Chains A and B, each alone.
Chain A
Amino acid sequence: MDRHLRRSTPSPRTHRAVSPWLFLLPGLGVVAAFNLYPFLTTVHKAFTDARTLTPGTWVGLRNFQDMLDDEQFWVALRNSGLYVLLVVPFTVLLPLLLALLVHKQLPGVTFFRSAFYTPVVASVVVVSLIWGWMLDDRGLLNGILRFLGAGPVAFLGDEWLLLFSAMALTVWRGLGYYMIIYLAALANVPRELHEAAAVDGAGALRRFVSVTVPAVRSTMVLVGALSSVSAFKVFAEVYLLAGPTGGPAGQDTTLVMLVQRTGTGLNGRVGYASALSLVVFTIALLLMLLVLRADRKEDR
């Protein structure tokens, strides 16, 4: 069919050879100039001592050696790593439970689905400021805690509580997004499977573990991969809750925050920030491959 289409195209030969590239020009131009080329310059600059206003000279691996001695780097790596470890299990599991909750066609269920998606639509800046206000020493959450006879808790005053609060915000924001992905997967699970299991007398938990989970396992892996990469790159939530300097003594700095802080400004250390960027890139890619590989291994 396709060959036929090509043969019968009336346009002259030269036109046909050029026009595909004319179609591609805007898209390929933007992607090459503003995605691929900056990546190449990042790789190059990582081995220089470039600053914002000076191109810098080749310094070999020195930026990476400096990193090993940079206490801020290790704090940032720890925070971004913890973010993945503590956020991902929740973003894989909670949205699945939520999807199961709204999967069943009950009156009004579409309203609930849309409502649960609201935090995804709002900008991360907006929701971070909303949470910042709720987590305030005298905010809503402490009001509720006080009602329960506890608190007050200085959520934003302690380095760890602050990080955990940001993580909770990230999980909260992902609920609706990943729920929709799971709903699409659940729509493909044959209902008979559940019914057969129910007839066999399997309880809800049993059915979840032995029917639902295997049926949506590849989606769980996908969600795991997506959310680990995005958790590792976390920036806005922590930046807004902890402030530009990363909370008490900078202890809540994440890797991307460190990149932003190091590489911008009039005297930004572009070379060092590029080296940090390469670390972000490499680990993000490895995380993606690792999670997807785990899936393939389970298949055997």
Chain B
Amino acid sequence: MTTRTSAWEKALRYLLMLGVLAVTVGPFLWQLSTSLKSTTEDIYAYPPGFLPERPTLDNYAGVADIIPVWRYALNSLQVAVANVLTNLVGASLAGYALARLRFRGRGLAGLAFVAALLVPLESIVIAQFTMMRDLQLNNTLIAVVLPGAVGALNVLLMRNAFANLPYEIEEAAVIDGANVWQRFVRVALPSVRGTLAVVAIFAFMGAWDDFLWPLIVLSDSDNFTLTVGLNFLHGTFQQNPRLVAAGTVIAVAPLLVMFACLQRYFFRGVGEGAVKG
């Protein structure tokens, strides 16, 4: 860097960044604070108190009395893990075929994924719902997973990742007599670990955070995922914001931990998804 940053510019930048920080992260801290306030503390107090007077975990136990929040968390976890596995397997297989294998109909297959990308999920949820009813799968976690089991965007991301590999790395395997499957598993897959991680993380986050589809397909409150369960909690017990706050903290904490550990993949995913998708 040749231009030097003047002291006042630096100060101004930090001041602005702190301001944005308050706006973006502040609401989460406020929610955390609310969830830790005891029932005797006035959460509507003026001026607002940011630190709980006597922090308590009662609200986390309280929210579990009203909705089976841990069961919902388990449901969400199952859906998210399943979504990660199906997307990793399905997208890498299809992406490899599109990028590395020559066969009649390849162009058409690629087009099918692009076409799927152009159809907003919001415009087909009713048809998907009717379909799940016909298959007798409505109100199951399987129905929550199925429509997004292999995302078209993930297939195209994997295709790009495989297409960017130099051919030389597979050549040696070919000379050794490896077949397509062996080349895929032993050579190609290990070379695209970064993209696999991106796909896995976004599949997890997408499934964990999804709302519209589970809201439509799940009707029995035993099978709710966390997002649908929180909506239910919000609708019935709005009078106690402490409990809702505890519920939201339970829903958001796992993802924030994951984000803190794996940030670079999150950022890479946004770049790749936006630019290449």
Contact = CB atoms under 8 A, between A and B. Distances in A.
B74 interface: no
- The residue among B34, B47, B131, B274 with the most chain A CB atoms within 10 A of its own CB is B274
B259 A121 contact: yes
B64 to A, nearest CB: 17
Interface string A1-20: 11011101111000111011
A221 to B, nearest CB: 12
Contacts of B126: 42, 45, 259, 263-264, 268, 270, 273-274, 277
B150 to A, nearest CB: 4
A121 B262 CA distance: 12
A294 interface: no
Given A35-B152, A116-B24, A30 B90 contact: yes
B227 A125 contact: yes
Interface string B199-224: 00000010011011001100000000
A226 interface: yes
A132 B245 CA distance: 11
A122 interface: yes
Given A35-B124, A42-B123, A259-B126, A116 B21 contact: yes
A202 B221 CA distance: 61
Contact of A104 (B5, B25, B152, B226): B5
B166 to A, nearest CB: 9
A142 to B, nearest CB: 9
Interface residues of A, number: 104
A235 B248 contact: no
B127 A118 contact: no
A81 to B, nearest CB: 15
A280 B91 contact: no
B244 interface: yes
A250 interface: no
A26 B152 CA distance: 12
Given A26-B150, A130-B28, A277-B122, 11 more contacts: A10-B179, A27-B113, A34-B146, A34-B147, A50-B130, A117-B266, A180-B270, A233-B120, A256-B212, A260-B125, A281-B119
Given A20-B97, A235-B212, A285 B118 contact: yes
A26 B90 contact: yes
Contact of A24 (B109, B181, B248): B109
B174 to A, nearest CB: 5
Contact of B101 (A19, A136, A172): A19
Contact of B103 (A17, A37, A136): A17
A131 B241 CA distance: 12
A3 to B, nearest CB: 9
Given A10-B177, A121-B205, A181-B274, A264 B216 contact: yes
B273 to A, nearest CB: 9
Interface of B: 1-3, 5, 10, 13-14, 16-17, 20-21, 23-25, 27-28, 30-31, 34, 44, 46-48, 86, 89-91, 93-98, 101-103, 106, 109, 112-113, 115-116, 118-120, 122-131, 133, 146-150, 152, 155, 167, 170-171, 174-175, 177, 179-181, 184, 205, 208-209, 211-212, 215-216, 226-227, 230-231, 234-235, 241, 244-245, 247-248, 251-252, 255-256, 258-260, 263, 266-267, 270-271, 274-275
Interface string A27-53: 110111011111101100100001010
A124 interface: yes
B94 A23 contact: yes
B123 A31 contact: no
B274 A38 contact: no
- The residue among A37, A41, A133 with the most chain B CB atoms within 10 A of its own CB is A133
A198 B179 CA distance: 59
28 contacts: A6-B102, A10-B177, A11-B179, A19-B101, A23-B101, A26-B90, A28-B109, A31-B150, A45-B126, A101-B13, A105-B1, A106-B10, A112-B17, A114-B263, A115-B21, A122-B28, A123-B209, A124-B209, A126-B230, A132-B234, A136-B241, A143-B48, A194-B3, A229-B120, A235-B122, A244-B235, A280-B122, A281-B120
A292 interface: no
Contact of A133 (B179, B215, B241): B241
A146 interface: yes
A138 interface: yes
- The residue among B27, B148, B231 with the most chain A CB atoms within 10 A of its own CB is B27
